[in-house]
């Protein structure tokens, strides 16, 4: 979600330049439950891009890598279009991410932090609402299932990763999230992931739960980095688990057995794989999904 000041001088990743040169194909494929794992695309900002996870894993671990090591049924390579530089130009980066998802003919789009910088950033309160409308319009072009979240309250990061000018006022944040809720209710392919609520409970020192995995009171440092903005590696696993759990709730044909929920097993797979520089070979054999 955030980024150190020194990285603000970097140019946009080249991966976003290529789609702009190509014509967009049709929107997301219409396949539902039985095809949902075929072409997963992650769109979003630095939380999805795995900011600072290099410290834990030896290399950066993005959300796409987490998904690849959690999903145990047959699936294609998970496409990552998330970027730690998303904050620099959310509208431009957002359009390129959506274009990439369309080009890939995505069957599932994971966009849990996609809307963050449409609401945050150094801009007026009116501009925040305008930018959010733009972000929602981009998402409207996707017809496949979309895993989306409300915009979380990250004011605790002020002075660490965020400046006061980047944070929306409480009333604005409330308005932004009310608009997201209303928009999501009108788009049946959108599945809301309670990331913002999860973070609120975590900051309040409450015990939190992801399906059958429970975290005791005071687990904030286990799941959130000290910058109070980005998830740890285990936090990314928890966020992914929360997302896939909600996906299964919506699509009853899917099962939690389709993916590994134990965060320690997933962390071990991911760290082993990134240190080898290739996909894991130590995960349990892929289970064939029965046709629904």
Question: How many residues comprise the chain?
Answer: 292
* pTM, full prediction: 0.83
Q: Is the pLDDT score of 7 beyond 80?
A: no
pLDDT at 225: 96
Domain count along the chain: 1
Assess if residue 192 is contained within a domain. Answer: yes
Q: How much is the mean pLDDT over the chain? A: 86
CA distances from 223 to 11, 147, 206, 230 (A): 30, 20, 13, 9
Assess if residue 20 is contained within a domain. Answer: no
- In tens, the pLDDT along 188-244 reads 999 999 999 999 999 999 999 988 889 999 999 999 999 999 999 999 999 999 999
- In tens, the pLDDT along 102-121 reads 999 999 999 999 999 999 99
Assess if residue 22 is contained within a domain. Answer: no
Assess if residue 189 is contained within a domain. Answer: yes
Helix (H) or strand (E) holding 221: helix 220-223
Assess if residue 219 is contained within a domain. Answer: yes
Do 26 and 39 meet the contact criterion of CB atoms below 8 Å apart? no
Cα of 36 vs its chain's centroid, Å: 17
CA distances from 36 to 24, 26, 39, 60, 131 (A): 21, 17, 7, 26, 29
* Boundaries of domain holding 233: 27-273
CATH number of the domain that residue 207 is part of: 3.40.50.1110
Burial label for 65, CB within 10 Å (0-12, 13-18, 19+), is: buried
Assess if residue 99 is contained within a domain. Answer: yes
Assess if residue 4 is contained within a domain. Answer: no
Q: Is the pLDDT score of 27 beyond 60?
A: no
pLDDT at 5: 44
């Amino acid at each position: 979600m955030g980024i150190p000041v020194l990285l603000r001088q970097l140019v946009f990743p080249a991966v976003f330049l290529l789609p702009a040169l190509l014509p967009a194909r049709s929107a997301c494929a219409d396949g539902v439950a039985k095809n949902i794992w075929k072409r997963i695309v992650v769109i979003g900002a630095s939380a999805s891009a795995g900011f600072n996870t290099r410290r834990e894993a030896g290399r950066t671990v993005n959300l796409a890598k987490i998904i690849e090591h959690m999903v145990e049924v047959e699936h294609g390579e998970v496409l990552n279009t998330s970027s730690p530089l998303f904050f620099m130009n959310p509208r431009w980066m957002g359009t390129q991410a959506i274009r990439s998802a369309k080009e890939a003919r995505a069957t599932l789009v994971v966009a849990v932090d996609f809307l963050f910088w449409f609401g945050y950033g150094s801009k007026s309160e009116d501009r925040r609402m305008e930018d959010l409308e733009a972000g929602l319009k981009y998402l409207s072009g996707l017809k496949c299932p979309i895993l989306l979240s409300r915009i979380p309250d990250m004011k605790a990061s002020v002075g660490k990763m965020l400046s006061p000018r980047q944070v929306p006022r409480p009333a604005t944040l409330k308005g932004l999230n009310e608009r997201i809720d209303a928009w999501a209710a009108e788009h049946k392919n959108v599945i809301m992931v309670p990331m913002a609520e999860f973070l609120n409970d975590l900051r309040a020192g409450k015990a939190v739960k992801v399906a059958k995995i429970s975290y005791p009171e005071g687990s904030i440092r286990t799941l959130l980095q000290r910058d109070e903005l980005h998830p740890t590696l285990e936090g990314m696993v928890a966020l992914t688990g929360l997302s896939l759990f909600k996906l299964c709730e919506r699509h009853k044909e899917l099962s939690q057995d389709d993916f590994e929920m134990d965060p320690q097993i997933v962390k071990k797979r991911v760290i082993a794989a990134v240190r080898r520089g290739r996909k894991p070979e130590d995960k349990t054999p892929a289970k064939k999904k029965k046709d629904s």
